[in-house]
Amino acid sequence: MITSVPEQQAARPDKKDGVKDKTPVPVKSQGLPAKSASVKKAAKKKREEEVLDTLTHLRTVTKEISRAYIANVERDILEISHFIASTGKKKGGPKAIDKSTLDRMEEILHGLSLKPSKGRRSDLKKIDKAVGSIARLIS
């Protein structure tokens, strides 16, 4: 099938009067036009804002988790304290704690080396572990 020159030009826009266009064509990423510097800056700014928003949310969640964690540890300490205080006092209540259990509790508590002014998570872990050990002793 022979076509006329205007139809060939319409069919092949890269040719002009039968001569290939030698103008460099910019490489497109996935068919999208190249981004300008201002578009890249805006995209970067948006990503930074998203990261800041996520960090702000993470800070709020951290506060909530730490409050709940501290409340749980304090509750456990109070339960143990009340249990120890009530042992052997009421008829039909918990039996008195034997000497070996009390010795072990003192050993656990005096073995804690804490530095609250440093605010370390490891101190919280030590307290939680000690409270758990004492709770197992009395259960």
Please name every residue paired with 15 in a beta bridge, in sequence order, or none if there are none.
20
Ordered by start, the domain boundaries in the chain are 37-138
Q: Are 138 and 101 in contact (CB under 8 A)?
A: yes
Region 41-56: mean pLDDT is 94
Q: What is the pLDDT of residue 5?
A: 47
Write the pLDDT tens digit of every residue in 124-135. Answer: 999 999 999 999
Residue at token pair 């804690």: 112
Q: What is the pLDDT of residue 14?
A: 52
3-state secondary structure of 62: helix
Query: Alpha-carbon distance 127 to 138, whole Å?
Result: 17
Question: What is the secondary structure of 94-119 as a DSSP string?
Answer: PPPPPHHHHHHHHHHHHT----GGG-
Question: What is the secondary structure of 38-81 as a DSSP string?
Answer: HHHHHHHHHHHHHHHHHHHHHHHHHHHHHHHHHHHHHHHHHHHH
Please name every residue paired with 20 in a beta bridge, in sequence order, or none if there are none.
15
Question: How big is the CA angle at 100 (ends 99 and 101), to the nearest 5 degrees?
Answer: 90
Dmax (CA) for the chain in angstroms is 113
Write the pLDDT tens digit of every residue in 58-116. Answer: 999 999 999 999 999 999 999 999 999 888 777 766 788 889 999 999 999 999 999 99
3-state secondary structure of 52: helix
Of the listed ranges 18-22, 45-49, 111-115, the least confidently predicted one is 18-22
